[in-house]
């Protein structure tokens, strides 16, 4: 199984879309980053993570089918949080970037990346052979029973002498 090189993906986003970005897993752990406040190995702040995790309830309140991203406007930048089932992509953009043009590209990118992650996860699974394990257990039990009866005469002699 190959592991995804998130650092290369972040570098590609920086070069092609002129966007500083960070990728986190669904638990909020930053896997790679070009954004100082979301550095690799850190965790997304709890309040932001709660907002991301509450996206289904927010979508229900707004009477929409799903919520794919949200943007925060700060004094000098936009922070765009785009999420999929397994990943969270954080983009730090200049205020002059047209979010309406940027968001579909980043959403498609994350969807593709999420699909690759799911494929890798599925490849991890191997079939478990219950018959093989049961036969090992049966052999162990038989051996223990034989060992138990093996020194029965000596045990009886010791009891008799005592």
**Tokens standing for residue 23:** 């990728």
Q: What is the mean pLDDT of the chain?
A: 82
The end-to-end CA distance of the chain, in Å, is 63
The neighbouring-strand residues paired with 87 are 25
Spatial separation of the C-alpha atoms in residues 40 and 83, rounded to whole Å: 18
Of the candidate ranges 39-48, 55-64, 123-132, 140-149, the one whose mean pLDDT is the lowest? 123-132
Q: Estimate to the nearest angstrom the gap between the alpha carbon of 153 and the chain centroid.
A: 59
**Strand, coil or helix: 60:** helix
Residues 6+ apart with CB under 8 A from 9: 23, 32, 113
Question: What's the whole-number mean pLDDT along residues 32-37?
Answer: 90
Q: Give percent above pLDDT 70 in the chain.
A: 88
pLDDT of residue 111: 78
Q: How many residues does the chain have?
A: 162
User: Does pLDDT of 143 surpass 90?
Assistant: no
Residue 86, number of CB atoms within 10 A of its CB: 16
Domains and CATH numbers, the chain: 6-124 (3.30.450.30), 130-161 (no CATH)
């Amino acid at each position: 199984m190959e592991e995804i090189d998130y650092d290369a993906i972040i570098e590609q986003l920086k070069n092609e879309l002129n966007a500083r970005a960070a990728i986190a897993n669904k638990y909020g752990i930053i896997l790679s980053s070009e954004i100082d406040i979301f550095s690799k190995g850190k965790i997304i702040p709890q309040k932001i993570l709660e907002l991301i995790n509450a996206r289904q309830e927010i979508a229900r309140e707004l009477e929409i089918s799903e919520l794919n991203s949200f943007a925060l406007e700060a004094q000098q930048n936009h922070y765009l949080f785009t999420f999929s089932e397994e990943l969270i992509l954080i983009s730090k953009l200049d205020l002059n970037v047209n979010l309406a043009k940027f968001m579909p590209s980043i959403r498609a990118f994350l969807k593709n990346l999420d699909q690759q992650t799911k494929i890798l996860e599925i490849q991890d699974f191997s079939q478990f052979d219950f018959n093989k394990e049961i036969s090992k257990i049966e052999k162990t039990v038989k051996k223990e029973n034989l060992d138990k009866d093996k020194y029965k005469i000596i045990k009886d002699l010791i009891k008799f002498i005592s």
